[in-house]
Each structure stands twice: as structure tokens, then as C-alpha cells.
């Protein structure tokens, strides 16, 4: 697959390197693509600016600070027809008013906001809830040793494609449902940044759902 990485830091750099190492065509991007050349060369990936990576990928990984997304959409467009993997989280200290507004809006989820910005894309929420060092150091496990990666989407086929990308690099997709179900693995929620193996993550999800219903 052709994967464009928008934001090639802790999360984007790690995931892009993993995907390139299992044979996908990857393009890293940031505001300073020249700084990404050594990382790209190490895994046979390409570098470009954000718009070039957005045009290149059939699948786009969004791994930038949440607060810059509205400006980014102006730059790269709505990603019509592409799969958008949203790995972002809203942190008001870093991302400003826009993050606080999304958090305060009971009718809005963080990933719902991202999906509303990229209206043409098939948004899949994933990788927002795994610490980048875990992503780096615990990849390529098998069976019960795999760390869970929570995933949601309103597009079943797109979710299946991204679940495949999770499995290929040795993590276990944990299907949480549709985009509206994402808050259970957004900041402060029970499944956020737990970095659990899949069986423990399933137990944690069941417990959280029981508590919610009680
Ligand atoms: N760190 C984690 O463990 C972790 C885990 C899960 C999810 N997340 C979430 O994932 C996102 C990225 O986190 P991170 O830790 O990977 O951040 P990071 O290491 O700071 O990387 C952010 C990337 O975005 C690029 N960037 C910043 N502003 C940009 C812009 N206006 N246009 C294009 N690229 C831009 C940066 O490169 P330049 O400055 O060179 O442009 C950098 O490549 C955040 O929303 C974070 O909450 C983080």
C-alpha cells in the first residue's frame, strides 16, 4: 500500500518505519522534510511536504498536534476517498482553544472533529492510545503477547484495512466500534494509554462498559 505520513515525529516516524520495513511504500512528511531523510533512507521510504505525502498515499496517517489540523486541511485538502488514520489527541496546554472546545462539547468527540475537518476521507481512529515507545519496542509480537491497538470507524472496509496494518506490525487490533465510540480510548478514559496485551485490554473494556452501564 502507499502510505503518506503527515507528522513524522514520535508516532509518525515509528509507524512509518515499521510499515516500510514490512514492504509498504511510505512517504514521511513534516514542515522540514529534509530533516527526515536519514530516517527515510534507513527503511527505503521517501520524504516530501505535507501536500505531497497527502497526494501520494492511499492511506494517510495523521500524527500531528491536534491544534494545527484546521490549518493543515487548508494546505492538504479534504483527502477525498482516502483512508485517514487519526492518531491525534487534543491537549489544551499544547493545542489551545480548539482542543478545549472539543473537550467541552458533549456532542463532539475528538475524532469526530477530525473527521469533520477531512470530510472526503474515510476516518479510522487508531494509534492515539499507545505510547510511542511501546509502539517502537513491542512491535512484531505474535498471539497473546501482542499489545492492543484500539480502533474505530464508521467505514467497515476502511477499518478492516487499518486492522490489517496493525496486525502486520505485530499488534492486536481491538475493535471498539464506530467513531462515536472512540471516547473510551481518548485522554483520561479507561482505555487511554494503557498499553495492555490484548486479553487484558479486552477485560479492561468489558469492565469499563459494565461500569458505564451501572
Ligand atoms: N507521543 C506519544 O506517545 C503519542 C501517542 C499517541 C498519540 N499521540 C498523538 O499523536 C500526535 C503526534 O504526537 P507525537 O508525539 O508524534 O508528536 P511529535 O513527535 O512532536 O511529532 C509531531 C510531528 O508533526 C509535525 N508537525 C508539526 N506541526 C506541523 C504542521 N503545521 N504541518 C505539518 N507537520 C507538522 C512535526 O514536524 P515539524 O515540526 O518538522 O513540522 C512532527 O513531525 C499528537 O496529536 C499526539 O497527541 C502521541
Q: 12 C-alpha to center of ligand 1: Å?
A: 7
Specify the pLDDT at position 156.
98
- Name the grid cell of 23: 514492504
For ligand 1, atom 47, which residue shows the shortest CA distance?
89
Specify the pLDDT at position 127.
98
**pLDDT range class, residue 30, cuts 50, 70, 90:** very high
Average pLDDT over residues 148-170: 98
| pLDDT higher than 90, residue 214 | no
Among residues of the chain, what percentage have pLDDT more than 90?
A: 99
Q: 65 C-alpha to center of ligand 1: Å?
A: 5
Q: 58 C-alpha to center of ligand 1: Å?
A: 20
pLDDT tens-place string over residues 125-142: 999 999 999 999 999 999
Specify the pLDDT at position 50.
98
Average pLDDT over residues 170-198: 97
Among residues of the chain, what percentage have pLDDT more than 70?
A: 100
Average pLDDT over residues 147-156: 98
Residue pair 184/211 in contact (Cβ under 8 Å)? The answer is no
pLDDT tens-place string over residues 35-59: 999 999 999 999 999 999 999 999 9
* Contacts of residue 144, Cβ cutoff 8 Å, sequence gap at least 6: 197, 198, 199
Domain covering 65-213, topology: Rossmann fold (3.40.50)
Residues with CB under 6 A from ligand 1: 7-12, 30-32, 50, 63-66, 68, 72, 87-89, 128, 130-132
**pLDDT range class, residue 194, cuts 50, 70, 90:** very high
- Across the chain, what does the average pLDDT equal? 97
| pLDDT higher than 90, residue 112 | yes
Specify the pLDDT at position 62.
98
Question: Full-prediction pTM beyond 0.95?
Answer: yes
Amino acid at each position: 500500500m502507499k502510505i503518506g505520513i503527515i507528522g513524522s515525529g514520535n508516532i509518525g516516524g515509528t509507524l512509518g518505519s515499521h510499515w516500510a520495513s514490512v514492504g509498504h511504500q511510505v512517504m514521511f512528511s513534516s514542515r522540514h522534510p529534509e530533516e527526515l531523510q536519514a530516517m527515510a533512507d534507513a527503511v527505503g521510504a521517501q520524504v516530501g511536504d505535507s501536500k505531497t505525502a497527502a497526494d501520494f498515499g492511499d492511506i494517510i496517517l495523521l500524527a500531528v498536534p491536534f491544534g494545527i489540523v484546521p490549518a493543515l486541511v487548508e494546505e492538504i485538502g479534504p483527502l477525498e476517498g482516502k483512508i485517514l488514520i487519526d492518531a491525534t489527541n487534543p491537549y489544551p496546554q499544547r493545542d489551545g482553544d480548539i482542543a478545549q472546545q472539543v473537550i467541552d462539547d458533549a456532542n463532539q468527540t475528538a475524532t469526530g472533529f477530525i473527521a469533520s475537518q477531512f470530510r472526503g476521507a474515510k476516518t479510522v481512529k487508531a494509534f492515539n492510545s499507545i505510547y510511542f515507545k511501546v509502539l517502537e519496542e513491542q512491535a512484531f509480537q505474535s498471539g497473546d503477547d501482542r499489545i492492543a491497538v484500539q480502533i474505530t470507524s464508521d467505514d467497515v472496509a476502511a477499518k478492516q484495512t487499518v486492522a490489517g496494518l496493525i496486525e502486520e506490525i505485530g499488534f492486536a487490533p481491538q475493535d471498539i466500534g464506530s467513531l462515536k465510540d472512540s471516547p473510551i480510548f481518548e485522554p483520561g478514559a479507561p482505555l487511554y494509554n494503557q498499553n495492555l496485551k490484548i486479553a487484558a485490554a479486552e477485560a479492561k473494556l468489558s469492565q469499563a462498559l459494565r461500569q458505564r452501564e451501572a
